[in-house]
Chain A
Amino acid sequence: MCLGIPMQIINIQGYNAQCEAKGIRREVNLFLLQDEAIIVGDFVLVHVGYALQKMTSQEAQTTWELLDQLMAPT
């Protein structure tokens, strides 16, 4: 539940955004980033459905790789 997942914004409607991570789409709430300039294509760190921070595509990529390693069957 504390796990932050990087997601890319696909479209924005008010405080709601469709975001994608590795082909999976979810609704994400942008309320906590209301004071930031957020545009489609940005990467955000998502916790329990809420974006907490903007991040770079490179940081998103590194985190996805980590999650792939941790989630892989051992």
Chain B
Amino acid sequence: MIAQEWLTKIRALPQNSPCKIMNVCGGHERTLSLGGVRTVLPAGIELIPGPGCPVCVCPEEDIYAAIQLALREKVVVATFGDMLRVPINAGKQTVRSLEQARAKGAKVHPISSPLEVVALTQQQPQQKIVFFAAGFETTMAPLAAMLAQGIPQNLSILLSGRLTWPAVAKLLAMENDPVLLPARKETVNPSHSRIFDALVAPGHVATVMGTGEWEFVVKQHHLPVAVAGFTVEGLLAAFYSVLRQRAEGRCFLDNCYPQVVKPAGNLTAQKCLKETMNVVDAQWRGIGCIPRSGFELKDRQIDARYQFPDYTSEGRERRGEMPAGCECAQVILGRIYPKECRLYGTACTPRHPIGPCMVSDEGACRIWWSAGLK
């Protein structure tokens, strides 16, 4: 079905109350923003970008550690290109990003695939290489495959992998516990207090992990969920599904991306993940610790956290926090839109980013800026 037909179906649904639909994937947000989807939906439907950017939530301490490894240890740091420009909290005269470390002569190598990291280790067999890997399940599964196939001796991993669903569980837990809510008043439709009324679940995470991970939103919180693909049509299909569920007063987990997403996911990928990594409590930048939301390497022999001094715990001002004045954490939690941050488009732009959401291609601020949203 084409986009116009989905829109007609959505418009034909009875709209009794405003509905906030959250997505938790930068890819979804990109299609929605660049496709101008917000402008064509009926009034009362709000599309909220949530925690969908692994670079944005990567602990500031981990980026600091990667910078120190590059500067102080004789290693090459290989990392996904997005990570290079994420600023840490440090004085103007000091090195504040991997890109700046590189400018100072440190060996920092942007890569787009773990395969490139393996190639790098083979090209430089005498050189110690640290792969600083941030990412959600879609990136962790390939990393697990790389580990399962065996990695060269000169490679170790600084892992900042995260799971998507625990962040959504955390958002819903915050909603039920006012003590946990950030002090700032919610600005996204303040008329009703829900963080979101329906969820569009990330299609490629579900491709790896299966759809079952999202059942808790339906069973425990009684909210409609639809797994969505990445085209405008695929997302409109998911919006139609969750809006129709609401209109009919029921909720279930719908798979609107069955062409690619199988209910059980990719079992080989899940097996690789289980064999190479543990699921542990983990820090999310600006948000805090989320239970069982991070990956940890099982093999300490290849874990850079055990191979090198622990730079993550070095005392620094604003360690682990978002930069001063930056509201990325509120954006990630879906409590404000990017344009509601005072720094958005003024002090903070893709050319001179302050917060991580303006750096990464999956960050809501960067995506909104690319789409010309002000």
Contacts and interface: CB of A to CB of B under 8 A. Distances in A.
Contacts, number: 111
Given A3-B27, A62-B231, A74 B204 contact: no
Interface string A51-74: 011011001001101100110001
Interface in A17-58: 27, 29, 31-35, 45, 47-50, 52-53, 55-56
Interface residues of A, number: 29
Contacts of A56: 259
Interface of A: prevailing SS: mixed
B31 A70 contact: yes
Interface string B252-274: 00000001101000111100100
A32 B266 contact: yes
Contact of A70 (B30, B54, B80, B272): B30
Contacts of B54: 1-2
Nearest to A47: B138
Interface in B201-233: 204, 207-208, 230-233
Nearest to A56: B259
B78 interface: no
Interface in B264-304: 266-269, 272
Contacts of A32: 141-142, 145, 266, 268-269, 272
Interface stretch (B64-72, B111-119, B325-333, B350-358): B111-119
Given A4-B204, A31-B149, A32-B142, A49 B112 contact: yes
B139 interface: yes
B204 A48 contact: no
B135 A50 contact: no
Contacts of B35: 69
Nearest to B141: A32
B267 A1 contact: no
B62 interface: no
B61 interface: no
B320 interface: no
Contacts of A59: 259-260
A38 B296 CA distance: 31
B55 interface: yes
A9 B65 CA distance: 39
B114 A52 contact: no
B139 A27 contact: no
B230 A66 contact: yes
B50 interface: no
B16 to A, nearest CB: 32
A48 B136 contact: no
Contacts of A70: 30-31, 34
B135 A2 contact: yes
B139 A52 contact: no
Given A1-B361, A2-B362, A32-B268, A50 B142 contact: yes
A63 B204 contact: no
A1 B139 contact: yes
Interface of B: 25-27, 30-31, 34-35, 54-55, 80-82, 112-116, 135-136, 138-139, 141-142, 145-146, 148-149, 204, 207-208, 230-233, 259-260, 262, 266-269, 272, 361-362, 372
Q: Which 4 A-B pairs have the closest CB atoms?
A: A49-B113, A50-B142, A31-B145, A49-B115
Interface of A: 1-4, 15, 27, 29, 31-35, 45, 47-50, 52-53, 55-56, 59, 62-63, 65-66, 69-70, 74
28 contacts: A1-B80, A1-B81, A1-B82, A2-B25, A2-B26, A4-B230, A31-B148, A32-B268, A33-B266, A33-B268, A35-B267, A45-B204, A47-B138, A47-B204, A48-B80, A48-B138, A49-B115, A52-B204, A52-B266, A53-B260, A55-B259, A59-B259, A59-B260, A62-B231, A63-B230, A63-B231, A69-B34, A74-B372
